[in-house]
Amino acid sequence: MDRRGTLNFLFRRVLPTVAVATLLLASLKLAEDAAGDSDRFAAHYRWVLGAAVAALVVLLATIGQRLWRLRGDLTRAAPGARLSRRLLLVLIVLALPSTIVVYGFALRFLDATIDNWFDVRLEQALDAALEIGRIAVDEHLRTAESASEVLVKRLAAEPPASAQAVLDETIESSGAIELTVFGDDGRVIATASSDPRYLNPPFPDSALLMRVHGDGRYAASEPFGDALALRVVLPLGVAHADAGESARPMQGQLLQGMFPLPPRLQPLTRGIERASFDFQRLKFLRGSLKLTFALILTFVLLLSVLIVVLAAFGIARRLVAPVGRLAAATRAIGAGRYDTPLPNASNDELGFLVNSFAQMTRELEFTSARAQKSARETEQQRAWLEAVLERLSAGVLGFDREGQLRVANRAAEAILDVPLSRYLGRSIGELKHERAELTSFADPLARHLRENLREWREEVVIDTAAGRRMLMLRGTALPDQAGYVAVFDDLTVLNRAQRDAAWGEVARRLAHEVKNPLTPIQLAAERLRRRFLGRLSPEEGELIDRATHTIVSQVEALKTMVNAFADYARAPQLALRAIALHALLDEVLDLYENDQRMSLTRQLADGEPRVRVDAVRLRQALHNLIKNALEAIGDARKPQIRVVTRHVRAGEEDWIELSVSDNGPGLPADFGERWFEPYTSSKSRGTGLGLAVVKKIVEEHGGSVRAENDAQGGATFILRLPLEGA
Amino acid sequence: MRRQHFHYVFLLSCALLAGCGAIAQQTPGSLTVRTATVVANGTAALLELGLDCHLSGPMQDALDHGIPITLRIEVRAGRWPRALASATERIEMRYFPLSRRYQLRKTESDDVRSFATPTYLIAALGSLRLGLPGAFANLPATTPLQLSVAIDPAALPGALRLPALFEPAWRLAAKDYAWTVAGP
């Protein structure tokens, strides 16, 4: 046992036991002392009482410590604590009232018993007996006094020298046991004794002498040892009135006579005195006796109560401990710890409960293991399905039977440009309410969900921040009315690719079908001009000149347009290399720096961003944008063009954005993706390929282009290109 | 509920205070050593002792009811802790109802004196002569002597010992008296 265990054993077992034993012994000792007059331990009375009080303190401290521990257990809701408290209260309530009732009755019984000892008639009888005894003693006292007076007379009649002879002669006849003549200085002049115990006569003390001088005599019964003697003291000089003139001058001398009571009277008086003495003594001690017995009973009560409380603690602990451990085991099992040790099963109902609990635990463990395995498999399937969904390029939305969104994959969020995870558990109507731009998507979806069609498909167009998107929306109802799944693909890129391919085909056909006849037409017009211009009249010659000039110029225009289409349709053969964007910009913009038609400002980002591009193609795109801006502004005002670059980070990639802004009328109201297609222009001049070429070049370099109106007026075209090394 | 508990505690406190007050109001007796001398007489020694004693009411009452009151007298010679000599004497005061006499008795001897009234009994304490062991007869001069006189609670009846521990009326003790052995 370690030191802590030893201390624990000492404080929890040994000390309370010692305290109980001490209190018990102290109570017994006090009871013994109160009942009798034993003085065996009388000198240690304080220690006995102190030990009893110390034992009480130890017991109270022990109980207090257990109560405090119980309070702690209750506070932290320890298993079995409340049951312990209830058991404790029940045991105390059962034991305490009976103990207190017994205590009360014992006190009352004690009080009544002690009072009964003091019967008034008994006291009166004892007083009467005492008085009779006194009368008897007084009678003999008078006899003794008479005998003493006779002796005084005789002594007065005899010479002083014969005093001893007179005493010796008289001692037997007077019945005295001792006769003494004291001188005025207290010296013994003569003495005679018939009893060896009275050989040394006591000299009268001052009080007695005062009585003698005051009353002329002293006669009283006095206790001597355990017997009663009659003491008579008479002055010899004035012994008796009858002495008269015969009295001798013996002034200051005293005769002391000690007379015994008759032997028959001795035990009687002694008995009367002792009985009266004991009765009076008990009468006086009545209150103290009651107090002492009450204190003893209180000690016994406290002992009983404290033992009951301690026993209640022990019983409660023994009863509750297995229940508490069962409760703790229940909590542990509830938390999934099935290896928690259970209390030993006893051969009673509690043991049956423990065995049943153990069996239940085993079954729970088995079921739990099976459930965990199933949950793991379900989780794996869910993770696998989620991974599949996340890697799908098509958007997938899952709805429960109430039409609430349960599943949305990443592609759906990207296509719709909406954080759909926020809308999980909400209906498609709420999505539509908060995202008005998805109305064209949500309406058909909600309608088909309502109609509960088994399978359906529909093409929808939505406007997102990234532009208009065309979606192919398909839906199907899950088996057992488990819900619905909607899958949609973004057809925008596919459509655009198809259109780009179509435009390329157009351009190739134009180059082939249109460009080939142009040269003969131009040559024919020039021949007509050379042949007929000098031969015709001036009016006709002017007509020919104007007509052929128109034909040639329009053919040139047609050639230019066809060449432009050819350039647009030509497959990209890029000479990519890393270049400093700002340096290339400066080269292009310097060409326009001295152009009096416009005001050019540049606002470039810090540093020197490097991009991997075909410098020739990028220059062409820049020229197209500036040219587009100049044409958009027109002649109405002086063109102001601002070129800005800035770093942006999007999709965990670094980009450089190059924007060209003008102070023109801004973008038309219906401006959209379509305006980056060939032959879409708001201007009367131009080929309608400027923006289409810009878009084509930017996309060839992995970038993008967009346009927006400025708040102060004018339009801004923004190219976004990937930074080299990002 | 708490107010009721407080009520009980308050009443109990009042009862305890009243009990303590009643005990404190009891007038205690008094005992003083007026004189003390050790007289050497050859190989024997005597302690001549003068006590001023006043018994409390309960003590007087107890005496009149036959309860003996015993004074314990301890005399010690030498400096503590080394004692050259020490002695303990007891004097018993007692009343006899038949003869109506008060008796003063040295318990260690047969020396008995009786008195008609308690006043004479108490007055007799003013001049006591107690025999001491022979060691006291040969004490060197200036040897410190110490005397203590007090009621002997162990000599009280068993029923009275417990109240005597608490009640001031049952406290009777003289202050320790110290003196030295006179030179030759």
Reduced 3-state DSSP string for A599-662: EEEEECCCCCCEEEECHHHHHHHHHHHHHHHHHHHCCCCCCEEEEEEEEEEECCEEEEEEEEEC
- Note which residues in 82-141 of chain A have CB less than 8 A from chain B: 130, 133-134, 137
Q: Is residue A639 within 8 Å of residue A598, measured between CB atoms?
A: yes
Question: What is the rounded CA–CA span in Å between residue A121 and residue A129?
Answer: 12
Q: How far is B140 from chain A (nearest CA, A)?
A: 33
So what's the pLDDT on residue A249? Answer: 46
Amino acid at A317: R
Which residues, at least 6 apart from A451, have a Cβ–Cβ distance to it below 8 Å?
none
- Tell me, what's the pLDDT at A248? 47
* Residue of A288, A289, A290 to mutate when probing chain B, most B C-beta within 10 A: A288
* DSSP letter for each residue of B59-70: HHHHHHTT--EE
Subunit contact B158:A133, Cβ cutoff 8 A: no
Q: Whole-model pTM?
A: 0.51
CB pairs under 8 A between A and B: 111
Query: What pLDDT does residue A246 have?
Result: 45
Interchain pair B96, A273: CB under 8 A: yes
Helices A45-75/A15-35 angle, 10° precision: 140
- Report the gap between the CA of A137 and the closest CA in chain B (Å): 8
Mutate to test the interface with A, among B92, B121, B152, B162 (most CBs of A within 10 A): B162
pLDDT classification of A465: cutoffs 50, 70, 90: low
List, as own/partner pairs, every contact residues A643-652 make where C-beta atoms lie below 8 angstroms and the sequence separation is at least 24, other chains included. Answer: A643/A585, A643/A589, A643/A600, A643/A601, A643/A602, A643/A603, A643/A604, A644/A602, A644/A603, A644/A604, A645/A581, A645/A582, A645/A585, A645/A603, A645/A604, A645/A605, A645/A609, A646/A605, A647/A605, A647/A609, A647/A723, A648/A720
Nearest to A34 among B117, B120, B158 (CB): B158
Half-sphere CA count of A484, side-chain side, radius 13 A: 26
Distance (Å, whole) CA A411 – CA A395: 5
Q: Which two tokens stand for residue A156?
A: 């007065």
Cis ω before B81 (30° cut-off from 0): yes
Question: The dihedral of CA A230, A233, A238, A243: what is its sign?
Answer: positive
Nearest to A281 among B66, B116, B161 (CB): B66
DSSP-assigned letters across all residues of A707-722: EEE-TTSSEEEEEEEE
Model confidence at B177: pLDDT above 90: yes
State how far residue B66 is from chain A, nearest Cα, in angstroms. Answer: 6
- CB contacts of B124 in chain A (<8 Å) are 205
DSSP 8-class letter at B80: T
To the nearest whole Å, the CA of A67 is away from the closest chain B CA by 19
- How crowded is the C-beta side of A381, counted as CA atoms within 13 Å? 5
ipTM of the assembly? Answer: 0.71
Interface of B with A (CB under 8 A): 61-62, 65-67, 96-101, 103, 110, 112-117, 120, 123-124, 153-163, 165
First to last CA, chain B: 80
- Residue A265: name the closest of A144, A382, A178 by CA: A144
- Nearest CB to A285; choose among B124, B155, B159: B159
DSSP bridge partners of B151: B71
Q: Does A39 touch chain B (CB under 8 A)?
A: yes
Short-list A253, A115, A250, A240, CA closest to A181? A253
Distance CA B44, CA A4 (A): 62
For residue A52, which residues of chain B lie inside 8 Å, CB to CB? none
Look at residues A179, A182, A219, A183 and name the one whose alpha carbon lies nearest to residue A195. Answer: A179
Residues of A in Cβ contact (< 8 Å) with B97? 130, 273, 276-277, 280
The distance in angstroms from the start CA to the end CA of chain A is 71
Whose CA is closest to A556, among A596, A515, A597?
A515
Spatial distance between the Cα atoms of A299 and A295, rounded to a whole number of angstroms: 6
What is the predicted pLDDT for the residue at B16? 57
Q: How many angstroms away from the CA of A28 is the closest CA of chain B?
A: 13
For A197-249, how does the pLDDT look when each residue is reduced to its tens digit (9 = 90+)? Answer: 767 777 787 778 888 888 888 888 887 766 788 889 988 865 444 444 444 44
Nearest-Cα distance to chain B for A201, in Å, is 12
Cα separation, A420 vs A410, in Å, equals: 9
Q: How close, in Å, is residue B82 to chain A by CA atoms?
A: 24
pLDDT tens profile B122-158? 999 998 888 888 888 888 888 899 999 999 888 888 7
Nearest CB neighbour to B67, from listed A30, A137, A284: A284
| Percent of chain B with pLDDT strictly greater than 90 | 29
DSSP state of A427: B
* Residues in a beta bridge with A408: A397
Nearest CA in chain B to A206: B120
DSSP secondary structure code for residue B135 in this structure: G
C-beta atoms of B97 and A276 within 8 A: yes
Q: Which residues pair with A650 in a beta bridge?
A: A653
pLDDT tens-digit readout, A186-206: 788 888 888 777 677 777 877
Asked if pLDDT for residue A376 goes beyond 90, the answer is: yes
**A212 interfacial to chain B (CB closer than 8 Å):** no
Classify residue A376 as exposed, middle or buried by CB count within 10 Å of its CB (0-12, 13-18, 19+).
exposed
Burial label, A401 (beta-carbon count in 10 A; 0-12, 13-18, 19+): middle
Answer yes or no: do B165 and A49 touch at CB < 8 A: yes
Bridge partners (DSSP) listed for residue A259: A230
| Lowest-pLDDT range of A364-368, A555-559, A572-576 | A572-576
pLDDT at A679 over 80: no
Best CA proximity match to A604, nearest among A626, A583, A578, A590: A583
